[in-house]
Structure 1
Amino acid sequence: MAITFSKDELKNENELKNEKGRSNMSISLDQIDLIMKRTNATYTEAKDALERSNGDIVEALALLEKEGKATRRTNINTTQEQINTYVDTLKTTHFVLSKDDHDYIHAPLIAVLVATVLCFHVSVIALVIALICGFKIKLTDKITHNVRFSNDDFMKS
């Protein structure tokens, strides 16, 4: 004799099993944080995925990806953003070589660094001669002209 269940009875049975499974498992904040960091999911999305996967992190990640709620974080984007930030800083910072309130060189720091790399020996010799002759070297902000670094500060310490 076979026992048969109606669709509603099966549905209720599955819901009871899910409720039992959820009440027995404990989801920690560390698990939720890990899911959030790996997928850029919100707190509630991460918690819900963990609950549906009975606390299994890998299964929760797979669920979020299937639903399209998870976008993978790539180090390429963050690295590219960091590189762009450094390049922007180099563009907005100016190298100023001055003596007696007269600027002899006022150029973007990135251009000075490229010239230094291409003509290293000449650049170092010119820099040493300029310091011996009493020239002042400053790194300033392009927009506000605030001094970020000056050889006067270096000589005081």
Structure 2
Amino acid sequence: MSVSLETIDLLRKRANVSYEEAKLALEKNNGDPVEALIFLEKENKTKSEKEEKKTSGTILNSITGTIKGLIEKGNNSRLVIGKQDNNIFNLSMTLTVIGSIAAPVIPLVGIPLAFLTNHKIRIEKKNGEDIKVNEVLDKVSSTVSSMVNQTDQEPHKESKE
């Protein structure tokens, strides 16, 4: 039995299936679009438009979902630089990363300067949960502080000529 392209196209749009699936369903049901649609539903081959859009953009959805997740994580975490109870810098990690990309010289100069002036650098989550990177930052801060204190306490030797 021959099935017209118009009938195939009609069924394809209604059931949101491929041309091949629409043609096979029509051929199995003597060209009757209603019976073919029922057949496709029974076979669970019909898809809603939302499902079709979801599957067609899975890679794009995956990438945008990952980016959204990273931005949300960044917004829930803050970079805090301070000395004792006095914070001089408190900014969301999202803005910190964007700023670092836009002006990379700021963190390249600012972070060593913060350590040299005995400031603490911490990353804080909104829920107060501690982050493992803070242990490393504390060790670096302690090491730099002890080196600075050691050089301050050493007597200056004058060279004899």
What is the TM-score when the length of structure 2 is the normalising length? 0.49
Give the alignment partner of residue 132 of structure 1, picking from 109, 116, 119: 116
Alignment of 1:7-86 (within 5 A): 66-68=45-47, 71=52, 72=55, 74-86=58-70
- The 1:102/1:146 distance shift into structure 2, 3 A limit, reads farther
Tell me the CA shift for residue 110 of structure 1.
Answer: 1.1
Question: Which residue number in structure 2 is paired with residue 116 of structure 1?
Answer: 100
Tell me the CA shift for residue 129 of structure 1.
Answer: 0.8
Per-residue CA distance 1:77-135 (angstroms, 9 max, x = gap): 12211111011001111000011222111110111112212221133111111111111
Measured on the aligned residues, the alpha-carbon RMSD in Å equals 2.8
4+ residue runs over 4 A deviation? 63-66, 153-156
Alignment of 1:98-109 (within 5 A): 98-109=82-93
Question: Which residue number in structure 2 is paired with residue 141 of structure 1?
Answer: 125
Identity %: 14
Q: How many residues align?
A: 94
In structure 2, C-alpha distance between the alignment counterparts of 1:110 and 1:92, rounded to whole Å: 9
Stretches of structure 2 lacking an aligned partner (at least 5 in a row): 1-39, 143-161
Contact 2:79 2:96 in 1 (8 A): yes
Stretches of structure 1 lacking an aligned partner (at least 5 in a row): 1-62
What is the TM-score when the length of structure 1 is the normalising length? 0.51
Report the 3-state secondary structure (helix = DSSP H, G, I; strand = E; otherwise coil) of the residue aligned with 1:67.
coil
